[in-house]
Chains A and B, each alone.
Chain A
Amino acid sequence: MKSFVYTRYELLRTLRNRRFFVLSLGFPLLLYFLIASPNRHVQDFAHTGISAPLYFMIGLAAFGTMSAMLSCGARIAAERAVGWNRQLRITPLSTRDYFRAKVLTAYMMALISLLALYLAGTTLGVSLGASEWLEMTGLILVGLVPFAALGITIGHLLTPDSIGPAMGGGIALLALIGGTWGPIATHGFVYDLVQLVPSYWLVQASHIAVGGHAWAAKGWAVMIAWTVVLSVLAGRAYRRDTGRV
């Protein structure tokens, strides 16, 4: 119960940071309206079999939730820069509780971003059954696990001035490859490569809405592999990071 107090203040702190809050929610919404409104009547977007408003809703949900998870890293980097991380190291806070607080905070931001995009989607005519909303949401939340680990890893490796460009570029690239702006390949070598990137599967979560299994076994395998690798890296980055920054 005690460590819950710590987590609670971490969440509160994030909600109070208005600039961070508004920017991380606002950008995906703005981009969504910019790209989806002109295409709101397209029913079969880029031969995916789903409507443009739904496709872009999930595409930008992937973008927005990825940003939310990775911005957890930016916050860690900022805390390290002021020496707070070292202060925490000399408390009994366990690695597990520290990670839990960080991951929960990231998920809270991701969930808020997701709900805002769902709401935006419905204004452009996206309409799904309750079970489809829930399944899709569940799949996206699972798909964010490797990004949570990635956020913690970069937070402990990079400095606040390098994390901005790294995140901006990284998220843009992951979103593009994942298919936020449209599928970049549907067969061949590039398609095989794209399928190894976790953001691809995040965008694929939208296929739930057309009644298919969104993730084949390959999707689960890719996600699990990234989760394992990035979690190990996150743990290592955190343990090594006790020096003065």
Chain B
Amino acid sequence: MSDIALRGLVKSFAGLDGPIRAVRGIDVSIAAGETVALIGPNGAGKSTTIDMLLGLLAPDAGTVSVFGSSPNEAVDRGAVGAMLQTGALIKDLSVRELVTMIASLYPAPLDVQETLELTGASAYADQRTNKLSGGQTQRVRSAVALVSDPELLVLDEPTSAMDVEGRHSFWMTMREFAARGKTILFATHYLEEADAYADRAVLMAHGRIVADGPTNEIKAMVGTRTIRATLPGVDTDALAALPGVSAAERRGESATLVCTDSDATIRALLRAHPDARDIEIAAAGLEQAFLELTGDGAADR
């Protein structure tokens, strides 16, 4: 059962060195009421996928169905709200006027005041949109997305301009909205956001889906750490054989170990190679984790 279905989506753009294959054949199904995170590093194809879901971009191949109709039909019906990745607000209107203007375009919008309160924008409802801070602008943008009372809410990296507190209250609002039985799809490159606020995570890298499942499983899958150390004269294979290591690599005297269990690895490493220096242990960035999941990403460019 899928209320929103992306089937075999492909999209390429013209680039300087031939076509850039932004999305390379993806399938995603979302049931009504689900909150799904689309995670991936920059350039993974998240925004392109979202543009196709919203009907802003026509796929080269594949189909998109939103509650049984095309994206454009769903948009015309007022069933979709979205907060796009980039976007400022138009000038010379107050926050309340702007939200009222957008609400007027929909068949059954929420009450404007209610929306402003829900998104925390009511405190500056009478200010001009060009006088707002970055975080305030994001809240107003979320009000613009929510005022239509959409069945499907799409958020493309919504919290990138927010501080920690802003992020938290933003997600509280979204959680409240989701509790009304709404479907939410959001793109992020913060694994923590996906873990905290989504039921399910879809991982994208290099235009493909590399994992799709409940967020806790995904988190375990990419929750790797790296250990970096100066280790002269130690064979890479010997490092790779240490417990908890999934990949080892060296550049000159410096070795990098990608670990699934860094605690076990560091103990074993120090026992076997007590001369190891300059040791750093870091949580692998998503980028790193994705390379891990996809093999060497550069190879299939």
Asked if B131 CB lies within 8 Å of chain A CBs, one says no
Cβ distance B19 to chain A, nearest Cβ, rounded Å: 16
A6 to B100, CA, bound (A): 9
Interface residues, chain B, CB within 8 Å of chain A? 47, 51, 54-57, 75-78, 80-82, 84, 86-93, 97-98, 100-102, 104-107, 144, 148
The distance in angstroms between the C-alpha atoms of A17 and B128, with both chains bound, is 12
Residue of A at shortest CB range from B76? A92
Report the separation of the CA atoms of residues A213 and B107 in the bound assembly, to the nearest whole angstrom: 48
Known: A89-B56, A92-B75. A83 touches B104 (CB 8 A): no
Known: A17-B92, A79-B90. 7 other contacts (CB 8 A): A6-B101, A82-B89, A86-B84, A91-B102, A92-B76, A242-B56, A244-B47
Minimum CB–CB distance from A239 to chain B (whole Å) comes to 11
* Cβ contact within 8 Å between B78 and A92: yes
B97→A9 contact, CB < 8 A: yes
Cβ B87 vs Cβ A86 within 8 A: yes
Tell me if A5 and B104 are in contact (CB < 8 A).
Answer: yes
A-side interface mostly: helix
**A residues near B148, Cβ cutoff 8 Å:** 91
Q: CB distance A5 to B144 under 8 Å? A: no
Q: Which residues A154-201 have CB closer than 8 A to chain B?
A: none
Residue of A nearest to B75 (CB): A90
| Contact in complex: B105, A6 (CB < 8 Å) | yes
Verify A13–B90 contact, CB threshold 8 A. Answer: yes
CB < 8 Å A-B pair total: 81
Q: From A81, which residue of chain B is reached at the shortest CB distance?
A: B88
* Contact of B105 with A92 in the complex, beta carbons under 8 Å: yes
- Give B138 Cβ to nearest chain A Cβ, in Å: 13
Interface positions of A (Cβ within 8 A of B)? 2-3, 5-6, 9, 12-14, 16-17, 79, 82-84, 86-87, 89-94, 242-244
- CA–CA, A90 and B106, complex, Å: 11
- What residues on A are CB-neighbors of B102 within 8 Å? 91
The CA of A79 and the CA of B98, in the complex, are separated in Å by: 14
Complex partner residue of B105 from A2, A84, A244, CB under 8 angstroms = A2
- A15→B120 CA distance, assembly (Å): 29
Please give the distance in Å from A82's CB to the nearest CB on chain B: 4
Residues of A within 8 A of B86 (CB): 83, 244
Going nearest first, the 3 A-B pairs with the smallest beta carbon separation are A83-B87, A5-B104, A82-B88
22 contacts between A and B (CB under 8 A): A2-B105, A9-B101, A13-B93, A14-B92, A16-B93, A83-B88, A84-B89, A84-B90, A86-B56, A87-B87, A87-B144, A89-B55, A89-B56, A90-B80, A90-B84, A91-B75, A91-B106, A92-B75, A92-B105, A242-B56, A243-B57, A244-B86
Across the interface, do A13 and B105 meet the contact criterion of CB distance under 8 Å? no
Contacts of B89 in A (CB 8 A): 82, 84
Indicate the member of B47, B88, B98, B107 with the most A CB atoms within 10 Å: B88
In Å, the complex CA distance between A102 and B55 comes to 23
Q: Which residues of A contact B105 (CB under 8 A)?
A: 2-3, 6, 91-93
